[in-house]
Structure 1
Amino acid sequence: MPPVSLMDRFIDTIEWLAAAFVGIVAVDIFVSVLLRYFFAVSIPDSYDFGKLLLGILIFWGIAATSYRGTHITVDLVWSAAGPRGKRWIDVFATLVLLFVVTVQTIMLFDKVRLTMQENVLTYDLRIPTWPFALVAWLGDVSAVLLIAIRTWRLIFRPDSIQEAHTPRAVE
């Protein structure tokens, strides 16, 4: 097995964090429904926590799917192109994605700042919501970093991107 680079470890860590947020959201929903259905009890701020955690999940999910290229795509033109054309389509599409997510990250930081300044709190427990927005923003920052890494690898080391698409066997 070839040695794993520091960059690949960073990428894997971001993907594991995204997976952890999926698990946290699933547990939150499961426990909330279980308590409400069987015991007629609700977790204070469960709706707010669910909403905030879902926002975190979305932005970390963007980070996880952007690098691997596993997001929803339309490959009609790409599949008709030759190898060189496919590579340039990938580079162009990734550059557009990098621009869009970078702008989104800048705007989301402004939302984090405003949420903190306005002291937005949850309904029941009066917990500040800005830390949740900050964690979501960090997911967006991770997406920008991973898309930048993907762009660099597509341009200068396209063979390393192909390795990322091959499934790994678990032994």
Structure 2
Amino acid sequence: MQRASMDRFIDTIEWIAAGFVGIVALDVFISVLLRNTLNYAIPDSFDIGRLLLGILIFWGIAATSYRGGHITVDLIWANVGPRYQRMIDVFATLVLLFVVTVQTWTLFDKVRVTYNDNVLTFDMHMPTWPFFAVAWAGDVSAVLLIAVRTYRLIFHPDLMHDPKIKTVE
């Protein structure tokens, strides 16, 4: 039961990240369409697009962190045995956990400063801190997923394989 609920949590994070990809694509499409057909610019479209892209990046980090879908260099990993591959995976995941945790801490400070300084968008004077807060939530999700990945790599490496993918051995 616990495995199924954790996998649902992981899938939810990935769907949220995918949703932000769709929102950013829709924002860009509508902005370009209106500008090129009606010669009309949506107020704050640049600021909103920029802030949405920031949100997308942090939720993308969350989505790729658990599955290990980020860019890797496997020169050494591919040339060692399974025991050393697992050790490399655990070490790399611990480093990633540390880096993203520090990043999450500093991004929270950015949310706080943006809120306290009442930073607004240019045209409509919308507060920008909610965008930073949603990005920070994505970073928190990344820390949680990396922690789950670390736990599973150390104590339950059999749970690291995607159950939807069948391997032939």
- TM norm structure 1: 0.94
**Partner residue, 1:89:** 88
**Partner residue, 1:109:** 108
**Partner residue, 2:53:** 54
Relative distance call for 1:134 and 1:3 in structure 2 (3 A) is: closer
Contact 1:21/1:56 (<8 A) preserved: yes
**Helix, strand or coil for the counterpart of 1:125?**
coil
Q: CA deviation digits over 1:138-166, x for unaligned, max 9?
A: 00000000000000000000011023683
**Partner residue, 1:27:** 26
The one-letter amino acid paired with 2:33 is: L
What is the RMSD of the two structures over their aligned residues, measured on CA atoms?
Answer: 1.6
Mapped partners of 2:2, 2:152: distance in 1: 18
Work out the percentage of aligned pairs sharing the same amino acid: 69
Contact 1:78/1:86 (<8 A) preserved: yes
**Partner residue, 2:63:** 64
**Partner residue, 1:145:** 144
Mapped partners of 2:81, 2:163: distance in 1: 21
Mapped partners of 1:165, 1:87: distance in 2: 22
Map 1:38-49 onto structure 2 (within 5 A): 38-49=37-48
**Partner residue, 2:121:** 122
The one-letter amino acid paired with 2:125 is: R
The one-letter amino acid paired with 1:108 is: L
Relative distance call for 1:3 and 1:107 in structure 2 (3 A) is: closer
Mapped partners of 1:100, 1:4: distance in 2: 26
Q: CA deviation digits over 1:106-152, x for unaligned, max 9?
A: 00000000000000000000000000000000000000000000000
**Helix, strand or coil for the counterpart of 1:5?**
helix
Q: CA deviation digits over 1:28-83, x for unaligned, max 9?
A: 00000000001000000000000000000000000000000010000000000100
Contact 1:68/1:164 (<8 A) preserved: no
Mapped partners of 1:111, 1:91: distance in 2: 30
Contact 1:116/1:130 (<8 A) preserved: yes
Contact 1:63/1:142 (<8 A) preserved: yes
**Partner residue, 1:79:** 78
